[in-house]
Amino acid sequence: MNSLEIEMFFWNRKTTQDKFKNAIRDVVDFPKQGIIFKDITTALKDAEVLRETTDLLYEKYKDMGITQVVGIESRGFILGSILAYKLGAGMVLMRKPGKLPADTFKVEYELEYGTDSIEIHKGALTNNDVVLLHDDLLATGGSATAAIKLINKFDVKAVHVNFLIELDFLNGADKLPKSDSVYSMVHY
12 falls in which pLDDT band (50, 70, 90)? low
Residue 8 has pLDDT above 60, yes or no: no
Q: How far is CA 125 from CA 93, 105, 128, in A?
A: 11, 12, 8
What is the residue-averaged pLDDT of the chain? 92
Residue 67 has pLDDT above 80, yes or no: yes
In the chain, the number of structural domains is 1
pLDDT in tens, 117-165: 999 999 999 999 999 999 999 998 999 999 999 999 999 999 999 999 9
pLDDT in tens, 174-186: 999 988 899 999 9
Domain that holds residue 53: 3-187
Q: What is the CATH number of the domain that holds 52?
A: 3.40.50.2020
Q: Is 51 among the catalytic positions? A: no
Predicted TM-score (pTM) of the model is: 0.90
Predicted confidence at residue 14, as pLDDT, reads: 76
4 falls in which pLDDT band (50, 70, 90)? low
The residue-averaged pLDDT of 71-83 equals 97
Predicted confidence at residue 31, as pLDDT, reads: 86
Marked catalytic residue, from 59, 73, 110, 112: 112
Which residues have C-beta within 8 Å of that of residue 7, sequence separation ≥ 6? none
Q: Is 48 among the catalytic positions? A: no
Residue 11 has pLDDT above 60, yes or no: no
The residue-averaged pLDDT of 96-108 equals 97
112 falls in which pLDDT band (50, 70, 90)? low
d(CA 146, CA 143): 5
Backbone conformation region of residue 136, classed left if phi is above 0, alpha if psi is from -120 to 50, else beta: alpha
Predicted confidence at residue 68, as pLDDT, reads: 98
The residue-averaged pLDDT of 36-65 equals 95
CB-CB contact of 114 with 139 (8 Å): no
Marked catalytic residue, from 52, 75, 119, 166: 75
